[in-house]
Chains A and B, each alone.
Chain A
Amino acid sequence: MTGGTGVPDGHDHEEPSFIRKYIFSTDHKMIARQFLFQSLFFLVIGGLLAAMMRWQLGFPGQPMPGGGIFPDAMVAPTPEGAIMLPEFYNSLVTMHGTIMIFFAIMPLLVGLFGNLLIPLQIGAEDMAFPRLNMVSFWLAVPAGILMLAGFAVEGGAAGAGWTSYAPLSTSGEWTGVYLGQQLWLASLTILGFSSLAGAVNYITTIINMRAPGMTWFRIPLPTWSLFITAILILLAIPILAGALIMLLFDQTIGTGFFRPDVGGEPILWQHLFWFFGHPEVYILILPGMGIVSEVISNRSRKPIFGYHAMVLAMISIAFLGWIVWGHHMFQSGMNPLLGTSFMISTMAIAVPSAIKTFNWLGTLWRGNIHYDTPLLHAVAFVSMFIIGGLSGIFMANTPVDMYLHDTYFIVAHIHYVLFGGSLFAIFAGITFWFPKMFGRMMNETLGKVHFALTFVFYNMVFFPMHNLGLGGMMRRLYDPTEYEFLQTLQPMNKFVSISAFLLVGTQVLFAFNFFWSLFRGRKATANPWNSNTLEWTVPSPPPHGNFAEMPVVYRGPYEYSSPETDDDYYPQNVPPREHPPVAPAPAPFTPSPEPGGAE
């Protein structure tokens, strides 16, 4: 994890020790890379858990290949091989969701891109609180260890779903999981503190540390999206933390917040959880939207269509996101009149998402589109987000939700948003900023093959899940063939499972490309994508302290193909007109002018 080349001309600092540089680093770029490696590790774990689940769903009751490595608490040994037990399946359901949401997608979007991009894009030397930033990462590590430890303790890992509905989750009496359930709570509580430390840092940094000329409406959209995300985190995580601690007390010291037998209220957990949970959904998609906006504008060589509308749409999502949580609870026993209110607010929040989609289309319109790997992933985000957004309208509709609630239709929906949306945005972001992070380019051919296979297999896995849901198949079923009416769906379940194995297998290509490029990739220039934003005005990777001298910002971030220049880009820090770009620009990978020759 050396980050490719050494840091070029570390100008005003002496070389820090190995430990300060790579382990307890306060440099935002190193912390970003630490989050990257930790999250990619969890992405692999989460993917493998999903593959095991798909084995059981596609081939229920058949011995799992390699299942012999699991202890008897998870699998039933037979002469033909080891068969998965229902308690293990429930742990897989729970841990796949939890790990993907809290330990893969969220830290990739927020921990990786937040740390990497915010100081660089606003022209700051680092975060406002570098030590707090370090603490943020080093809280995420024990949280991750505690989460995985669940698999090793007696009773297995948490098994009440990633939503951990009470009273199921309040006692091992109901799930058969005791310590695992508590480890799950402890892990997420610690992770919450990690997220809060990050959020405070991001908000402070963006408000206080922008370079001269970096007005609010010159901030690149990834940073805008991370600013709004950080505010959501700051307000939502305390709700979750409170609920988690209450649940932990219910489990351990016999309080009864969520247990009706001792005067508690099961539905209170759902209100608290989703009051956090719905803003969380936007925490998981807004940074992706920012990344995709950046990549599409850059690779189309065209200003983002409706920059202000994009920002306003995100701000309205951030407000409306607080009044839609009840749409997860239409069938929960909540007052049906509330259901109607939440249906109306939910329909309203679809509008800003529609605005964003149309603006991405508007950006591509009459562009000069370069089909690089980041663009392919970004466009996949848009096309998959359209499906995920539209499928949400079905469940937002209270009468239709009566049938579709808790079926595979919702599983399809969440994966079109979180995989088709967030994860494709993450692939777009990693392939786009890889040169900035590590000083080397990723391999284009491998990148395109990985994209194409992922896109195809992804749709083969998740599109049929809509049909499974329409057929009535419920979520979180260990063995769907127990129900006679679901047996006709079994061929489709097999198809989905085989596609899932292919999808997981394809990711080896990405891992190979990633590590190969880390050491062997072509050296990257400062600005390989001919981009306008400030992170591309410094060397790849940027030195400690980022900017040799304070950059001055003259214009918005998306001045591509401006008539004021002969180039098709116009960096934010290049003084207008009378100073044309310093270096003549031979295509394709030209370093953009260094700010004023440094030194």
Chain B
Amino acid sequence: MNWSWLLPESVSTFGPDIDRIYYVVLWITGITFVLTEALLLYFLLRYRHKEGRKAHYTHGNNRLEIVWTVVPAIILLGLAFTSKGVWARVKSELPSGAVELVVEAKQFEWNITYPGADGTLGTDDDFTKRNELHIPVNQPVIVNLRAEDVIHSFFLPEFRVKQDALPGKNIPVWFEATETGEFTLACAELCGIGHYRMGGRVIVHSAADYEAWIQTEVAGGQQ
């Protein structure tokens, strides 16, 4: 069994930034956890009932109240303000020079439309693959995320990408792979009876392989 609190390896450009924040939170909460639980245990043992002892009569301490209000507030708000940059970069800014795809989710599959040889979506040589997301390494990808029926959630665990797909909306999602190989595409939002089997593969090619793959698909597809 894996009791590790480490995250699995990430393979996107912003993955390490997200993971770094995770580890900062893990340290802060871990230290707080150990200190408070240790204190709790210590008090329980140290001040257990003994015949003839009377508890210390006090109603509190205002200075302490201020300390344990202000210190957590500074840490927590500091955490929020230092994380908002990464969030904005991932969710609000779209990169230039990206490969653009359309991912349309429906019960219970992912249909991925590629721009074909001309690199432009909406032209005749576009082609669609089911549950296979092919992308080049080291080049940003913009996925135009849509849903046909209900809400699904586009989850690429190794890339640290998650975005709900909403029917009636087009939501652009970007990421950039840093490694070639095969990874997971999953649905993270309950979407019906077949939710559990709405998985797919992400195949990251080298730039040259990706070009070649597009060409063979266009040639072989006859669509």
Contact = CB atoms under 8 A, between A and B. Distances in A.
B39 A333 contact: no
B186 interface: yes
Given A165-B189, A477-B195, A307 B57 contact: no
Given A336-B87, A402-B162, A87 B57 contact: no
Contacts of A475: 188, 190
Contacts of B2: 467, 471, 488-489, 492
A491 B1 contact: yes
A343 B81 CA distance: 9
A445 interface: no
Interface in B1-25: 1-8, 17-18, 21-22, 25
A393 B54 contact: no
A343 B80 contact: yes
A174 B37 contact: no
A86 interface: yes
Interface of A: 86-87, 90, 93, 159-161, 165, 167-168, 174-176, 260-261, 266-267, 300-309, 331-333, 336-337, 339-340, 343-344, 347-348, 350-351, 354-355, 357-359, 361-362, 364-371, 379, 382-383, 386-387, 390-391, 393-394, 396-400, 402-403, 405-407, 464, 466-467, 470-472, 474-480, 482-485, 488-489, 491-492, 495, 560-563, 568
B122 interface: no
Contact of B76 (A339, A347, A491): A347
B68 A175 contact: no
Interface in B70-85: 72-73, 76-77, 79-81, 83-84
A393 B76 contact: yes
Interface string B159-193: 01111101111010000000000001011111111
A479 B196 contact: yes
A348 B73 contact: yes
Contact of A403 (B7, B59, B76, B80): B7
Nearest to A407: B188
Given A174-B150, A301-B55, A492-B2, A339 B196 contact: no
Contacts of A379: 40, 44
A407 B186 CA distance: 11
Interface residues of B, number: 87
A309 B47 contact: no
Contact of B56 (A357, A367, A472, A495): A367
Contact of A348 (B21, B76, B163): B76
B80 to A, nearest CB: 4
A159 B189 CA distance: 13
Contact of B55 (A300, A383, A484, A485): A300
A90 to B, nearest CB: 7
11 contacts: A174-B149, A266-B151, A300-B47, A302-B55, A308-B60, A339-B87, A355-B68, A474-B187, A479-B196, A482-B196, A484-B184
A478 B55 contact: no
A403 B83 CA distance: 14
Given A300-B47, A331-B164, A399 B196 contact: no
Interface of B: 1-8, 17-18, 21-22, 25-26, 28-29, 32-33, 36-37, 39-40, 43-44, 47-50, 53-61, 64-65, 68-69, 72-73, 76-77, 79-81, 83-84, 86-88, 90-92, 107, 149-151, 153, 155, 157, 160-164, 166-169, 171, 184, 186-197, 199
**Which 8 pairs across A and B sit closest by C-beta, in order of nearness?**
A260-B168, A366-B56, A306-B60, A336-B91, A347-B76, A472-B157, A302-B55, A390-B29
A174 B199 contact: no
Nearest to B23: A400
A354 B54 contact: no
Nearest to B72: A354
A466 B171 CA distance: 29
Contacts of B162: 331, 402-403, 405-406
A597 B220 CA distance: 98
Contact of B37 (A362, A383, A563): A383
A467 B87 contact: no
A399 B199 contact: no
Contact of A368 (B53, B153, B164): B53
